[in-house]
Structure 1
Protein backbone atom coordinates (compact mmCIF):
# COMPACT_ATOMS: atom_id res chain seq x y z
CA UNK A 1 0.00 0.00 0.00
CA UNK A 2 1.35 3.43 -0.89
CA UNK A 3 1.91 6.00 1.87
CA UNK A 4 -0.75 8.32 0.46
CA UNK A 5 -3.35 5.53 0.49
CA UNK A 6 -2.35 4.67 4.04
CA UNK A 7 -2.82 8.34 5.03
CA UNK A 8 -6.34 8.31 3.67
CA UNK A 9 -7.21 5.04 5.35
CA UNK A 10 -5.57 5.90 8.70
CA UNK A 11 -7.12 9.33 9.03
CA UNK A 12 -10.38 9.62 10.86
CA UNK A 13 -12.79 11.66 8.76
CA UNK A 14 -15.03 14.16 10.44
CA UNK A 15 -18.59 14.82 9.32
CA UNK A 16 -19.08 17.91 7.18
CA UNK A 17 -20.83 19.96 9.86
CA UNK A 18 -17.79 19.56 12.12
CA UNK A 19 -15.25 21.17 9.75
CA UNK A 20 -13.41 23.62 11.95
CA UNK A 21 -10.04 24.98 10.84
CA UNK A 22 -7.20 23.94 13.09
CA UNK A 23 -5.58 27.30 13.73
CA UNK A 24 -3.31 25.89 16.45
CA UNK A 25 -1.66 23.47 14.05
CA UNK A 26 -1.32 26.21 11.43
CA UNK A 27 0.22 28.59 13.99
CA UNK A 28 2.73 26.00 15.21
CA UNK A 29 3.79 25.28 11.63
CA UNK A 30 4.09 28.91 10.60
CA UNK A 31 6.00 29.83 13.79
CA UNK A 32 8.69 27.43 12.61
CA UNK A 33 8.62 29.09 9.19
CA UNK A 34 7.64 25.78 7.58
CA UNK A 35 5.46 25.23 4.55
CA UNK A 36 2.85 22.50 4.53
CA UNK A 37 5.24 20.51 2.33
CA UNK A 38 8.04 20.83 4.89
CA UNK A 39 5.80 19.70 7.76
CA UNK A 40 4.57 16.82 5.61
CA UNK A 41 8.15 15.76 4.95
CA UNK A 42 9.00 15.94 8.65
CA UNK A 43 6.08 13.69 9.66
CA UNK A 44 6.17 11.40 6.61
CA UNK A 45 2.95 12.29 4.81
CA UNK A 46 1.77 14.44 1.89
CA UNK A 47 1.24 18.19 1.96
CA UNK A 48 -2.38 17.47 0.96
CA UNK A 49 -2.91 15.66 4.28
CA UNK A 50 -1.37 18.55 6.23
CA UNK A 51 -3.75 20.88 4.39
CA UNK A 52 -6.72 18.68 5.32
CA UNK A 53 -5.66 18.63 8.96
CA UNK A 54 -5.31 22.42 9.02
CA UNK A 55 -8.66 22.93 7.28
CA UNK A 56 -10.32 20.54 9.71
CA UNK A 57 -11.65 18.17 7.04
CA UNK A 58 -9.83 15.26 8.71
CA UNK A 59 -7.96 14.68 11.93
CA UNK A 60 -4.62 12.91 12.08
CA UNK A 61 -4.51 9.26 13.05
CA UNK A 62 -2.82 8.45 16.37
CA UNK A 63 0.45 7.74 14.54
CA UNK A 64 0.47 11.17 12.86
CA UNK A 65 -0.69 12.94 16.03
CA UNK A 66 2.38 11.51 17.75
CA UNK A 67 4.67 12.55 14.87
CA UNK A 68 3.21 16.09 14.77
CA UNK A 69 3.74 16.48 18.52
CA UNK A 70 7.33 15.29 18.22
CA UNK A 71 8.36 17.54 15.34
CA UNK A 72 6.47 20.62 16.56
CA UNK A 73 7.40 20.12 20.23
CA UNK A 74 3.87 20.53 21.57
CA UNK A 75 1.17 18.30 23.03
CA UNK A 76 -1.74 17.02 20.95
CA UNK A 77 -4.06 19.19 23.02
CA UNK A 78 -1.92 22.30 22.44
CA UNK A 79 -1.92 21.60 18.69
CA UNK A 80 -5.71 21.23 18.64
CA UNK A 81 -5.43 17.63 17.49
CA UNK A 82 -7.90 16.15 19.96
CA UNK A 83 -10.85 18.33 19.00
CA UNK A 84 -13.69 16.33 17.48
CA UNK A 85 -12.47 12.99 18.79
CA UNK A 86 -14.70 11.06 21.08
CA UNK A 87 -13.40 10.53 24.57
CA UNK A 88 -12.55 6.90 25.26
CA UNK A 89 -14.99 5.17 27.59
CA UNK A 90 -13.93 5.08 31.23
CA UNK A 91 -12.17 1.87 32.28
CA UNK A 92 -14.32 -0.87 33.71
CA UNK A 93 -14.08 -1.35 37.42
CA UNK A 94 -13.14 -4.82 38.55
CA UNK A 95 -15.08 -6.06 41.53
Structure 2
Protein backbone atom coordinates (compact mmCIF):
# COMPACT_ATOMS: atom_id res chain seq x y z
CA UNK A 1 0.00 0.00 0.00
CA UNK A 2 1.33 3.45 -0.91
CA UNK A 3 0.81 6.41 1.35
CA UNK A 4 1.38 10.14 1.00
CA UNK A 5 3.93 11.41 3.50
CA UNK A 6 5.11 14.96 4.12
CA UNK A 7 8.10 15.62 6.34
CA UNK A 8 8.07 17.44 8.64
CA UNK A 9 4.30 17.92 8.19
CA UNK A 10 1.47 18.35 5.68
CA UNK A 11 1.97 22.12 5.75
CA UNK A 12 5.10 21.55 3.66
CA UNK A 13 2.87 20.43 0.78
CA UNK A 14 0.79 23.59 1.16
CA UNK A 15 3.93 25.77 1.27
CA UNK A 16 5.02 24.35 -2.08
CA UNK A 17 2.04 26.12 -3.64
CA UNK A 18 3.79 29.41 -2.82
CA UNK A 19 7.46 28.68 -3.51
CA UNK A 20 10.40 26.28 -3.34
CA UNK A 21 11.24 24.82 0.05
CA UNK A 22 14.84 23.92 0.80
CA UNK A 23 15.02 24.65 4.52
CA UNK A 24 14.82 21.91 7.13
CA UNK A 25 11.86 23.23 9.11
CA UNK A 26 10.23 21.82 12.19
CA UNK A 27 6.47 21.35 11.97
CA UNK A 28 5.93 24.58 13.92
CA UNK A 29 8.28 26.51 11.62
CA UNK A 30 6.48 25.20 8.53
CA UNK A 31 3.12 26.18 9.97
CA UNK A 32 4.41 29.66 10.83
CA UNK A 33 5.82 30.05 7.30
CA UNK A 34 2.47 29.04 5.83
CA UNK A 35 0.70 31.65 7.94
CA UNK A 36 2.78 34.31 6.20
CA UNK A 37 0.91 33.36 3.02
CA UNK A 38 -2.39 32.42 4.68
CA UNK A 39 -2.72 34.53 7.85
CA UNK A 40 -5.90 32.76 8.98
CA UNK A 41 -4.55 29.22 8.48
CA UNK A 42 -5.76 26.87 11.23
CA UNK A 43 -5.10 23.30 10.02
CA UNK A 44 -7.47 23.65 7.07
CA UNK A 45 -7.06 25.42 3.77
CA UNK A 46 -8.77 28.76 3.45
CA UNK A 47 -11.33 29.41 0.68
CA UNK A 48 -8.76 31.63 -1.05
CA UNK A 49 -6.09 28.89 -1.08
CA UNK A 50 -4.43 28.82 -4.54
CA UNK A 51 -5.52 25.30 -5.50
CA UNK A 52 -4.74 26.07 -9.13
CA UNK A 53 -1.05 26.24 -8.16
CA UNK A 54 -1.00 22.48 -7.55
CA UNK A 55 0.74 21.86 -10.88
CA UNK A 56 3.64 24.06 -9.78
CA UNK A 57 3.56 22.50 -6.30
CA UNK A 58 3.87 19.04 -7.85
CA UNK A 59 6.96 20.15 -9.78
CA UNK A 60 8.48 21.67 -6.64
CA UNK A 61 7.67 18.53 -4.63
CA UNK A 62 9.33 16.27 -7.17
CA UNK A 63 12.47 18.35 -6.85
CA UNK A 64 12.43 17.90 -3.04
CA UNK A 65 12.63 14.12 -3.56
CA UNK A 66 15.62 13.71 -5.87
CA UNK A 67 16.24 10.14 -4.72
CA UNK A 68 12.56 9.21 -4.78
CA UNK A 69 12.71 8.38 -1.07
CA UNK A 70 10.30 9.92 1.36
CA UNK A 71 11.11 10.86 4.92
CA UNK A 72 13.91 13.34 4.32
CA UNK A 73 13.26 16.85 5.60
CA UNK A 74 11.92 18.54 3.55
CA UNK A 75 10.05 15.99 1.45
CA UNK A 76 6.53 15.19 0.40
CA UNK A 77 4.86 12.53 -1.69
CA UNK A 78 1.40 14.13 -1.73
CA UNK A 79 1.98 14.79 -5.43
CA UNK A 80 1.91 11.03 -6.01
CA UNK A 81 -1.56 10.87 -4.47
CA UNK A 82 -2.66 13.64 -6.84
CA UNK A 83 -1.22 11.68 -9.78
CA UNK A 84 -3.31 8.64 -8.78
CA UNK A 85 -6.46 10.74 -8.40
CA UNK A 86 -5.88 12.46 -11.74
CA UNK A 87 -5.25 9.15 -13.53
CA UNK A 88 -8.31 7.54 -11.92
CA UNK A 89 -10.50 10.45 -13.03
CA UNK A 90 -9.04 10.31 -16.55
CA UNK A 91 -9.81 6.59 -16.83
CA UNK A 92 -13.33 7.06 -15.48
CA UNK A 93 -14.09 9.57 -18.27
CA UNK A 94 -13.29 7.06 -21.02
Larger radius of gyration: 1
Specify if TM > 0.5.
no
- Higher RCO, 1 vs 2 (CA within 8 Å, ≥6 residues apart): 2
